[in-house]
Amino acid sequence: MIALVTGASGGIGAAVAKRLTDDGFTVVGLDVDDADVTSSEQVEAFVDRIEDSTGPITALVNTAGILRTGKAVELSDADWAATMAVNTSGVFHVSRAVARRMIPRRAGAIVTVASNASKTARQNMAAYAASKAAATAFTKCLGLELAEFHIRCNVVAPGSTDTPMLTGLWDGSDALLTSVEGSPEAYRVGIPLGRVAQPSDVADAVAFLLSDRAAHITMQDLTVDGGASLGV
């Protein structure tokens, strides 16, 4: 079994790579040093290389992502474009390249790691939330189109997770404590389970959706946020 994991060098991506390795996958990481997910040409060439040298990709996990914050009316064109290029177009490019090769084999599973921000409004996160919402919708549509080929496509939507992306969000304050307690002035509730997720929590959800235990699950969005989005 061969799993391709984008953004595998750190954070959630690294945890996913470790978990899948423990589960018996041969894991191939795709980071910017290997191929730029915003370039369809680079992605196609990279996937070709993996299929030729390592073998057929049986699982894909899209975790590569960036976060550019700011009020919607103050976001620069560059920040908006970069966010969409990585978080949305990147998912499209890699998923399309892998799915094209899975279809003749009539087997495979794809998981996109999105965010609970895709369905819960957040201040200063308009670009990120919109990009993750688009990636979520794309993955579900892909799942519908690939169902006849027995290829499953699902989404995992983390909330606050103990990664550099989270700690960089709070400008030096205690990011973990702030995430747990919430921020009423920003209309942001805390985390009912009382802790921030570890990357391994998200990786466990991804591993489940790739496994045979989820053989009849497709086009679903599994939120892993300790209840922060109140089940929405």
Q: pLDDT category, 169, cuts 50, 70, 90?
A: low
The angle subtended at Cα 186 by Cα 183 and Cα 191, nearest 5°, is 40
Residue 171: per-residue pLDDT:
56
Per-residue pLDDT of 75-99, as tens digits, reads: 999 999 999 999 999 999 999 999 9
- Structural domains of the chain sorted by starting position, each given as residue range(s) with its CATH number in brackets: 2-159+198-224 (3.40.50.720), 162-196 (no CATH)
Residues noted as catalytic = 128
The sign of the torsion formed by the CA atoms of 22, 27, 31, 33 equals positive
State pLDDT tens for residues 181-226: 777 887 888 889 999 889 999 999 999 999 999 999 999 999 999 9
What was the pLDDT predicted at 70? 93
**Going by DSSP bridges, is the β-strand pair 151-158/108-113 parallel, antiparallel, or unpaired?**
parallel
Residue whose pair of structure tokens reads 């209309």 in the numeric block: 187
Give the phi and the psi of residue 149 in degrees, each rounded to 5.
Answer: -100, 10
Backbone angles phi, psi at 156, to 5 degrees: -115, 130
**In DSSP terms, which residues pair with 140 in a beta bridge?**
none
Mean local confidence (pLDDT), 9-23 = 95
Going by C-alpha positions, the residue among 3, 9, 50, 58 that lies closest to residue 32 is: 9
Alpha-carbon distance of 161 to 113, in angstroms, equals 12
The dihedral sign for the CA sequence 15, 62, 10, 29? positive
Q: What angle do CA 24, 86, 196 make, to 5 degrees?
A: 65
Q: pLDDT tens digit string along 30-59?
A: 988 889 999 999 999 999 999 999 999 999
